[in-house]
Amino acid sequence: MLDIAMFREHADIIRADHDKRNLPHDNIDAVIRLDEEWRQARYDSDQLRKVRNEAARGIAGAKKSGDTAAADSIMAEVKTIGAQIDALTERADACLAERDALRMRVPNILHESVPVGEDDQKNTLHSLHGEKVELDFEPRTHNDLVEANGWVDLGRGAKVAGSRFYFLMGDLARLEMALQQYTANFLVERGYTLVQPPLMMNREAYEGVTDLADFETVMYGVEPDKFYLIATSEHPLTAMRMDEIIEPAELPVKQVGISQCFRREVGAHGLSDRGIWRVHQFTKIEQIIICKPEDSWQHHEELFENALELWDSLGLHYRVVNICTGDMGSIAAKKYDLEAWLPGVSEYKEVVSCSNCTDYQANRLRMRYRTTDGNAAVHTLNSTAVATSRALVAIIEQNQLEDGRVRVPEVLQAYMGGQEVLQSL
């Protein structure tokens, strides 16, 4: 959420941003109005508390000097002040709660380099990487190939869990682990600390890092313990320092999270989502950075470069798009997506998302760092390194051989005992 100071001092900036996103200004105006109401109620209750505190000091003084009559007299005077304070406090709390509920729905301020457009069709092409291999046979889709080779059992996944669950088997499971190891090592060598986070989080921590709508459409709840299964390790890693004041010497925090990710994928259907492209559970290796505000755009490029070099090293062809205003979501100020080429369906599809969230998550999480001028919100950034299910799809489709088997990317062969081709079951 945005700093309340933005609403008080620079509401024009928020309004201009809403115009770019084609959003009405209602929430902005309501936040400003509720903020004023809250301050008034707060001031009134503070004044009454002042009266009560003065009386309390009077009582204490009178009792100390043995003048019980004076003490009783003051006590009688302030007998009912507590109820008035309670009423005003209740009103102040209600205004504040409503102010912040609305403030949570106001999206982040977009970076000036974000292209304006209504939906993902208006994302702009940033760059192309690797070579688009021309196969001298008809390319098959990954869902066709995994089934033919016995690498994925979706039917039995549906039987024991539900649709979009799967068993990953044999050499493809082995390749998945190789990909995890390789990617984690790749980033550890660049100075990132490897972290295995909790796979569940409580509601309060989760509200700090995600859009409220995600609780309905993305996250699985675990009853009766009121936990949520994480949708990405970005969430626990970023929430890790909730309510903390970070010493400047600790910044930037650079971590690589590795975890299983769980997503409900409500409303997702269609041919292009078949196989293991869009599933309820997958492994993801994620980069996160927590840094000082003045460094965040430089770090955003660093995360982006890491992702590019990693995907280049896998020998895959992909393109990069700069996400436009209409496709952005509420958390990020700017986002690059890497989209891998899938010859089976002749499409580029999203495999990596690299975001600078500026102070939006930090404000919700009350995550600050010390400056000589007081405490200030940090900036948070995150980027996929590899989501294994989607990386496997890209590898399978781009590295497929005419006989239906799949070539192992060279850098991963060492993690599979030198194996060069995945064998079917």
Partner RNA sequence: GCAGACGUCGCUUAGCCUGGUAGAGCGCCGGAUUUGAAAUCCGGUGUCCCUUGGACUCGGGAGUUCAAAUCUCUCCGUCUGCGCCA
- Tallying the residues shown for the chain, one arrives at 425
**Least spacing, CB of residue 54 vs RNA, in Å:** 7
Nearer to RNA, 375 or 423 (CB): 375
| By CB under 7 A, residue 121 contacts RNA | no
**Least spacing, CB of residue 390 vs RNA, in Å:** 29
x-or-dash string of contact with RNA, 373-412, rule CB under 7 A: -xx-------------------------------------
The correct pick among 10, 21, 33, 49 for binding RNA (CB under 7 A) is 49
**Least spacing, CB of residue 367 vs RNA, in Å:** 13
The correct pick among 82, 113, 135, 425 for binding RNA (CB under 7 A) is 82
Nearer to RNA, 71 or 422 (CB): 71
Residue 205: how many CB atoms within 10 A of its CB? 18
CA-based nearest residue to 167, from 17, 10, 341, 389: 389
The correct pick among 39, 111, 190, 319 for binding RNA (CB under 7 A) is 39
**Least spacing, CB of residue 147 vs RNA, in Å:** 33
Nearer to RNA, 217 or 260 (CB): 260
- The four Cα atoms 306, 311, 315, 316 give a dihedral, to 10 degrees, of -150
Nearer to RNA, 45 or 388 (CB): 45
Strand partners of residue 256: 194, 287
Query: Which residues ranging from 216 to 255 are in contact with RNA (CB under 7 A)?
Result: 245
**284 near 184, Cβ under 8 Å?**
no
User: In the Cβ-directed half-sphere of 73, how many Cα atoms lie within 13 Å?
Assistant: 7
Task: State the Cα–Cα distance between residues 139 and 182, nearest whole angstrom.
Answer: 27
**Least spacing, CB of residue 46 vs RNA, in Å:** 4
Task: State the Cα–Cα distance between residues 367 and 378, nearest whole angstrom.
Answer: 6
CA-based nearest residue to 383, from 316, 315, 337, 331: 337
Task: State the Cα–Cα distance between residues 412 and 16, nearest whole angstrom.
Answer: 48
**Using CB under 7 A, which of the segments 216-224, 233-241, 314-322, 368-376 binds RNA?**
368-376
**Using CB under 7 A, which of the segments 43-51, 106-114, 146-154, 185-193 binds RNA?**
43-51
| By CB under 7 A, residue 46 contacts RNA | yes
Say whether 141 sits in a helix, a strand or coil.
coil
| By CB under 7 A, residue 11 contacts RNA | no
**Least spacing, CB of residue 371 vs RNA, in Å:** 10
**173 near 167, Cβ under 8 Å?**
no
First-to-last C-alpha distance (Å) of the chain: 50
The correct pick among 13, 15, 53, 410 for binding RNA (CB under 7 A) is 53
**Least spacing, CB of residue 35 vs RNA, in Å:** 8
| By CB under 7 A, residue 63 contacts RNA | yes
The correct pick among 28, 59, 316, 396 for binding RNA (CB under 7 A) is 59
**Least spacing, CB of residue 48 vs RNA, in Å:** 8
| By CB under 7 A, residue 50 contacts RNA | yes
CA distances from 378 to 107, 114, 422 (A): 17, 22, 45
CA distances from 310 to 196, 343, 380, 411 (A): 20, 20, 21, 10
The correct pick among 22, 47, 65, 423 for binding RNA (CB under 7 A) is 47
| By CB under 7 A, residue 101 contacts RNA | no
Task: State the Cα–Cα distance between residues 206 and 187, nearest whole angstrom.
Answer: 26
Task: State the Cα–Cα distance between residues 184 and 238, nearest whole angstrom.
Answer: 18
Nearer to RNA, 230 or 332 (CB): 230
Buried b vs exposed e over 329-345: b needs ≥16 C-beta within 10 Å? ebbbbbbbbbbbbbbbb
Pairing of strands 253-262, 281-291: antiparallel
Q: Omega into 409 within 30° of 0, i.e. cis?
A: no
Task: State the Cα–Cα distance between residues 194 and 389, nearest whole angstrom.
Answer: 20
**Least spacing, CB of residue 87 vs RNA, in Å:** 13
Q: How many residues bind RNA (CB under 7 A)?
A: 30
**Using CB under 7 A, which of the segments 70-78, 123-131, 137-145, 154-162 binds RNA?**
70-78
**Using CB under 7 A, which of the segments 52-60, 113-121, 354-362, 409-417 binds RNA?**
52-60
The correct pick among 21, 52, 91, 292 for binding RNA (CB under 7 A) is 52
Q: Which residues bind RNA (CB under 7 A)?
A: 4, 39-40, 42-43, 45-47, 49-50, 52-57, 59-60, 63, 71, 75, 78-79, 81-82, 245, 370, 372, 374-375
